[in-house]
C-alpha cells in the first residue's frame, strides 16, 4: 500500500486519533458483538483493522466486563499503520486486557494475511475501504483488500464492516440537480469542488459526469461563482454526496480548531444531550475560545440565547447551527483570501480529508464486489463473503445531520452509516448458507449484480 502524507502524518496523528477518530464506539462494535454471538469457538479470535482511538475496543471491553459472551476467552488483535501512537487506544487495550487478551500488530490492510498469524473468527473495520479507495490505488486497492479478508478468516468466520452510506440511486453516476442558496454552502462549492474533482481519487471521469453550475440562468465556472447568488448544480448524485459529507467534516474540523470563537462538545455524554433524538434535535454544549474572530455582536447574541452550564454554555442545536453557518461563511471568505490562521485551518482539512471519496460504491455494488472479489482470494478452498440474513445489512441514519441538512438544502441526500456483517461461506459444501446469502442479496442488488455473483461462485477456477 502506498504511504502518502495523508496516511502517515495526518489521519494517523495522535491528536486526530485520540479526538476526532475516537467516537461511536458502540456503533463500531455493534456487529462485532453480533458476530461473537454466532461464533461457536470457546476462545474466539477477533481482529480489528484500523482501531483509531480505540473507541470500539473500549466498548467491547465494557460489554465483556458486563457479562456478555460469558465463557468465551476472546483474543483481540488490533492492526494499525506503522508508527502510529494513540494514548486513548493504549488505554482501551489495557481495559480489554482485564477481560480478555489483546495485542497490537502493525502493517497495512492489503498485507493482512502476512500480519495476522492465526485464522480469525471475526474481522472488523470501520471506514477502511473508503480510505483505501481514496489513498490506496482506487478500486484496485479496494478489491485487493477484499481478496485478502477471506484468507485470514476461518470458514464460517465473519467480517463486520461500517462505513458512510452512499445513495439510494442504483448508480453514483445518475444525474440530478441540486440548488444551493445559503452563503456558506455556495462559498464552499466554489472553494472545494474544483480541487476535489481535480485532485481527489473519484470515479467521475466520464463525459456524462460533467458538473455544470448555473447562476441567473447562465453557466458559470465553479471558480467564478458569486457567493451571494443562488446556484443550480447538475451533476452525478455521488458528487452531491461528497459535497454534503465534506461540508460536515469541514464544519467539525473548524469547530475543533477553535478558530470560530466557540468549540462544541463533539464527544462524550455532553455531545448527546437530546431534546428529541428521533428528530435529531439536541442541546449543544459549547465553550468560548480566546480567538477574536467572533464579532462582539454575534458573541453577545449567542450568549443571550444560551444558558450557563457549570464551566461552559448550552444552547438549542438549531440556533447553534445558524450561528455556525454565519461564522463559517466569514471563515471561508478569510481562508479564500489567504488569511493566515483561517487559511492554515482550511489547508489542514483539505490535506487530511478534502481529497477523500466517501461514496465509492452504492450498497448494491458493494455487496456484489465483496461476493465476487472474495471468490478470487488466493486460497485452496474458495469462500465467498456474503450477508446471510437481511438483518445483517443495516442503515443507521444520522438524525442530527439530516435535520441540519433539511434546513439548508431543498432536496438533501440522506446522511447515514451502513453496517454490513459478511459471513465467509464455503463456495462448495454449504448450499444452505449460499442460498441464504443469495436471498439476502436479492433484497439489495439488481439483476446484473446478482448474475455476476452467481457466475463468480459457480464458475470455479
**Do 97 and 24 fall into the same domain?**
yes
Please compute the mean of the pLDDT values over residues 408-432 and round it to a whole number: 93
**Do 286 and 394 fall into the same domain?**
no
| Side-chain half-sphere CA neighbours of 113 within 13 A | 13
Q: How confident is the model at residue 438 (pLDDT cuts 50, 70, 90)?
A: very high
Does residue 301 surpass a pLDDT of 80?
yes
Are residues 129 and 161 in contact, defined by beta-carbon separation less than 8 angstroms? yes
**For residues 161 and 393, what is the distance between their CA atoms, to the nearest angstrom?**
10
Q: Contacts from 431-440 at CB under 8 Å and sequence distance 24+?
A: 433/386, 433/388, 434/384, 434/386, 436/388, 436/389, 437/371, 437/384, 437/386, 437/387, 437/388, 438/386, 439/390, 440/386, 440/387, 440/388, 440/389, 440/390, 440/392, 440/393
What's the confidence (pLDDT) of residue 191? 96
Are residues 317 and 265 in contact, defined by beta-carbon separation less than 8 angstroms? no
**Do 328 and 445 fall into the same domain?**
no
Please compute the mean of the pLDDT values over residues 76-86 and round it to a whole number: 88
Domain interval for residue 54? 8-166+360-458
- Domain boundary among the residues 335, 353, 371 is at 353
**Do 197 and 157 fall into the same domain?**
no
> Do the domain assignments include residue 3?
no
What's the confidence (pLDDT) of residue 72? 72
> Do the domain assignments include residue 1?
no
Cell 480489528 identifies what position?
A: 48
Closest CA to 61 of 50, 49, 46: 46
CATH of the domain at 394: 3.40.50.150
The number of distinct structural domains making up the chain is 2
- Domain boundary among the residues 321, 353, 385 is at 353
pLDDT tens digits for 361-371? 999 999 999 99
- In this structure, the number of other CB atoms found within 10 A of the CB of residue 401 comes to 19
Does residue 429 surpass a pLDDT of 90?
no
Does residue 19 surpass a pLDDT of 60?
no
**Do 341 and 246 fall into the same domain?**
yes
Return the C-alpha cell found at 235: 451533476
Contacts of residue 195, Cβ cutoff 8 Å, sequence gap at least 6: 350, 354, 355
pLDDT tens digits for 315-345? 999 999 999 999 999 999 999 999 889 999 9
**Do 74 and 153 fall into the same domain?**
yes
What's the confidence (pLDDT) of residue 339? 85
Please compute the mean of the pLDDT values over residues 49-72 and round it to a whole number: 85
- Domain boundary among the residues 353, 387, 411 is at 353
**Do 39 and 122 fall into the same domain?**
yes
What's the confidence (pLDDT) of residue 5? 42
**Do 69 and 120 fall into the same domain?**
yes
> Do the domain assignments include residue 32?
yes
What's the confidence (pLDDT) of residue 218? 97
**Do 393 and 412 fall into the same domain?**
yes
Rg (CA), the chain: 23
Q: What is the DSSP letter of 7?
A: I
DSSP letter string, 257-322:
HTTTSEEE--SSGGGG-EEETTTTEEEEEEEE-S-S-S-HHHHHHHHHT-EEETTEEEEEHHHHHH
**For residues 187 and 167, what is the distance between their CA atoms, to the nearest angstrom?**
24
What's the confidence (pLDDT) of residue 7? 41
| pLDDT above 70: percentage of residues in the chain | 93
Are residues 285 and 271 in contact, defined by beta-carbon separation less than 8 angstroms? yes
> Do the domain assignments include residue 425?
yes
Amino acid at each position: 500500500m502506498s504511504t502518502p502524507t495523508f496516511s502517515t502524518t495526518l489521519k494517523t496523528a495522535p491528536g486526530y486519533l485520540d479526538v476526532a477518530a475516537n467516537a461511536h464506539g458502540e456503533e463500531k462494535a455493534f456487529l462485532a458483538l453480533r458476530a461473537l454471538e454466532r461464533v461457536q469457538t470457546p476462545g474466539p479470535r477477533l481482529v480489528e483493522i484500523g482501531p483509531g482511538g480505540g473507541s470500539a475496543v473500549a466498548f467491547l471491553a465494557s460489554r465483556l466486563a458486563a457479562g456478555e459472551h460469558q465463557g468465551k476467552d476472546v483474543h483481540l488483535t488490533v492492526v494499525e499503520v506503522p508508527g502510529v501512537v494513540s494514548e486513548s487506544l493504549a488505554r482501551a487495550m489495557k481495559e480489554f486486557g482485564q477481560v480478555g487478551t489483546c495485542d497490537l500488530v502493525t502493517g497495512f490492510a492489503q498485507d493482512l494475511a502476512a500480519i495476522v498469524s492465526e485464522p480469525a473468527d471475526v474481522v472488523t473495520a470501520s471506514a477502511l475501504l473508503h480510505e483505501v479507495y481514496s489513498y490506496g490505488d482506487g478500486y484496485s486497492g479496494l478489491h485487493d483488500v477484499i481478496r485478502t479478508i477471506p484468507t485470514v478468516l476461518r470458514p464460517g468466520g465473519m467480517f463486520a464492516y461500517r462505513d458512510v452510506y452512499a445513495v439510494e440511486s442504483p448508480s453514483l453516476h445518475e444525474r440530478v440537480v441540486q440548488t444551493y442558496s445559503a452563503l456558506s454552502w455556495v462559498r464552499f462549492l466554489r472553494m472545494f469542488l474544483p480541487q476535489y474533482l481535480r485532485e481527489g481519487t473519484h470515479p467521475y471521469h466520464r463525459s456524462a459526469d460533467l458538473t455544470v453550475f448555473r447562476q441567473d440562468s447562465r453557466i458559470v465556472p465553479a471558480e467564478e461563482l458569486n457567493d451571494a447568488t443562488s446556484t443550480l448544480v447538475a451533476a452525478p448524485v455521488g458528487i452531491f454526496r461528497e459535497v454534503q459529507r465534506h461540508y460536515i467534516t469541514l464544519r467539525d474540523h473548524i469547530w475543533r480548531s477553535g478558530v470560530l470563537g466557540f468549540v462544541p462538545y463533539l464527544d462524550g455524554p455532553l455531545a448527546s444531550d437530546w431534546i428529541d433524538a428521533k428528530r435529531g434535535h439536541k442541546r449543544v454544549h459549547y465553550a468560548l475560545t480566546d480567538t477574536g474572530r467572533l464579532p462582539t455582536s454575534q458573541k453577545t447574541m449567542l450568549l443571550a440565547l444560551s444558558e450557563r452550564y457549570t464551566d461552559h454554555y448550552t444552547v438549542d442545536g438549531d440556533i447553534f447551527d445558524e450561528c455556525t453557518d454565519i461564522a463559517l461563511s466569514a471563515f471561508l471568505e478569510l481562508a479564500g483570501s489567504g488569511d493566515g490562521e483561517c487559511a492554515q485551518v482550511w489547508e489542514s482539512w483539505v490535506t487530511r480529508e478534502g481529497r477523500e471519496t466517501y461514496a465509492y460504491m452504492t450498497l448494491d455494488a458493494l455487496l456484489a464486489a465483496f461476493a465476487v472479489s472474495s471468490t478470487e482470494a488466493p486460497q485452496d478452498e474458495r469462500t465467498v463473503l456474503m450477508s446471510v440474513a437481511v438483518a445483517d445489512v443495516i442503515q443507521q441514519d444520522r438524525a442530527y445531520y439530516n435535520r441540519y441538512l433539511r434546513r439548508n438544502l431543498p432536496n438533501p441526500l440522506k446522511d447515514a452509516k451502513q453496517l454490513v456483517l459478511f459471513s465467509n461461506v464455503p463456495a462448495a459444501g454449504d448450499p444452505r448458507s449460499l442460498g441464504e446469502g443469495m436471498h439476502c442479496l436479492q433484497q439489495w442488488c439488481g439483476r446484473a449484480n446478482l448474475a455476476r455473483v452467481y457466475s463468480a461462485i459457480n464458475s470455479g477456477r
